[in-house]
Homo-oligomer: A and B are copies of this chain.
Amino acid sequence: MPRIIPQYREEVKQKIVFAAFTLFIEKGYHGTTMGEIAESLGVTKPALYQYFPGKEDLFAAVAEHARQEFKGTLERAYAGRNIRDGSAALFDALLNYVPQFNGMYSEMLLLATRNDRLRTVLVQDRTEDIRVIERFISRQQETGLISSRLDPRVLAVACDALANGLLMDVLMGMDRDEAKTVWIAALEQMVRVGP
């Protein structure tokens, strides 16, 4: 790794985050050691501490990184699609993350209770996700595809929660196809224009 260039630092940090991300999702936070992360990068442990003050901070950065990945997914899924197709596409995309989220997502929550930075990240993430969905819903309501009787914010939160809940179900062994069926059905029921 280089010696001088200052903005190179950010690049190295990203490399570390990525390596840590890979390991965290594979073996969980507690199951991953700083040594392993360093080794997977071909550096030594102290090198890590030059970029992150501690394991938790590295994890927070990893969470942010995970977030970026996810955010794109959400927007990509609905882009140019109606709510039905978009939701299906989204869910398919989400399911791809399931095997990874295995250990990480759950531990993020736990750590968030003690790590301010992580908690902030997580909360903001969810907030933003919901806003994206909300905007999408509002647009659909304008075109009449979603009953305008419904509060877009409420609906967005519900969708987000439903997706998360189903994802956890899959994580715990539910059949992916069933989860998807439920997702589509419940969504249709929730957004449908009705009496």
Contacts and interface: CB of A to CB of B under 8 A. Distances in A.
Interface of A: 28, 30, 102-103, 105-110, 112-113, 119, 122-123, 126, 150-151, 154-155, 157-158, 160-166, 168-169, 171-174, 178-179, 181-183, 185-186, 189-190, 192, 194-195
B110 A102 contact: yes
A119 B102 CA distance: 13
Interface of A is mostly: helix
B189 A150 contact: yes
A103 B107 CA distance: 8
**Copies of this chain, whole number:** 4
A30, A102, A157, A160: most-surrounded residue (chain B CB, <10 A): A157
Contact of A119 (B28, B108, B164, B173): B173
A88 to B, nearest CB: 15
14 contacts: A28-B110, A102-B113, A122-B172, A122-B173, A154-B182, A155-B186, A158-B162, A158-B166, A158-B182, A160-B165, A160-B169, A161-B164, A161-B168, A195-B195
Contacts of A109: 102-103, 105-106, 168, 171-172
Contacts of A112: 172
A119 B172 CA distance: 8
